[in-house]
Amino acid sequence: MKIVYELELQTGNHNEYWRDIEQLVIKHYDIVEKANELAPQMIKVHIHGKTDEIKSFFDDLRATNLKYSYVKRRFYSQKEIQRAQYVMMSVAQPWSSKEKYAESYGTIYTNGECSLCKKGKVQRSKLFVPERKAIQYDICTLIPEIIISERLGGILEDNMCSGYILDDVYDWKTKRKTNLKQLKITNMLPSMSVESGIVEERCPACHKTYLNGVKEGIIYTKKSIEKFKDFNYTSELYIMHKGVSIPRGQCIVSNKIVKLFIEKDIKKLRSIYFEPIIFDG
């Protein structure tokens, strides 16, 4: 397992802060994988190194007046992923920046309770997608919906997988039903363990709290494993793109699903990110 710390450093308009960041990067050059401007007055820095090197970086960072936040990203080998009982699954999004959302293709949702974070929005029409692009994948995401091929739907049903239902999908241009299916995850998990080190973000409009990352990995208590099925959503909601996408839980799947994806040679498998779930206590 490789651990990368992703830091967001707020610079404001102070030249002193920019100098502090420059000195940090130069001093700890060996462990800084990349540093780039994330937004005006904010720098994103990725660091990876030995424990003492990471500690030294944070000691120097705390000695400055910089405001910062960070999350740990864990990168696992194929063997580690295949050994895990459950993994978080991040599904491919094969669309350009203007085409990522189901609403862009005519799928209708309720208005929801908050215009900013989209809390409470629910799909109330058929799912419309660009069929020609979606059929290139066995599984992909048109935010926030998951689309799968007829082939994968058959594999899941033949192997009696749990925690989901399938619904029809329609082409956005012709309005006709396609062979694609919408994968609707029905099983909601209990809350993560506090040991996860959840990083929260609050909507400034309605004050709803959302998941913005975990510092120690996605961790559940061992007794909660009886609540897991083959497909699951975390009860903690996550907003993929603020102000645009609809809140959803993180998708967690069983080892059975991972093995089926590998054994059945699921198309574009390399574009799916898996992260093992930790069970503690």
What is the per-residue pLDDT across 67-105, written as a single tens digit (0 to 9) for each? Answer: 888 877 778 888 999 999 999 999 877 776 567 889 999
Using the predicted structure, report yes or no on whether residue 56 has a pLDDT greater than 90.
yes
Using the predicted structure, report yes or no on whether residue 190 has a pLDDT greater than 90.
yes
Give this prediction's pTM: 0.81
**CA 220 – CA 278 distance, rounded (Å):** 6
**CA 249 – CA 251 distance, rounded (Å):** 6
Using the predicted structure, report yes or no on whether residue 28 has a pLDDT greater than 90.
yes
Lowest model confidence (mean pLDDT) among 30-44, 152-166, 216-230 = 30-44
Using the predicted structure, report yes or no on whether residue 41 has a pLDDT greater than 80.
no
| The pLDDT of residue 66 | 85
| The pLDDT of residue 261 | 95
- Which amino acid appears at position 93 of this protein? Q
CA dihedral 8, 270, 142, 173 (to 10 degrees): 140
Mean pLDDT of 51-64: 92
Using the predicted structure, report yes or no on whether residue 176 has a pLDDT greater than 90.
yes
Using the predicted structure, report yes or no on whether residue 213 has a pLDDT greater than 90.
no
Using the predicted structure, report yes or no on whether residue 39 has a pLDDT greater than 70.
no
The answer to whether 251 and 87 have CB atoms below 8 angstroms apart is no
| The pLDDT of residue 149 | 96
User: pLDDT category, 240, cuts 50, 70, 90?
Assistant: low
| The pLDDT of residue 57 | 94
Q: Identify whether 144 is preceded by a cis peptide bond (ω within 30 of 0).
A: yes
Dihedral pair phi/psi, residue 147, rounded to 5°: -115, 135
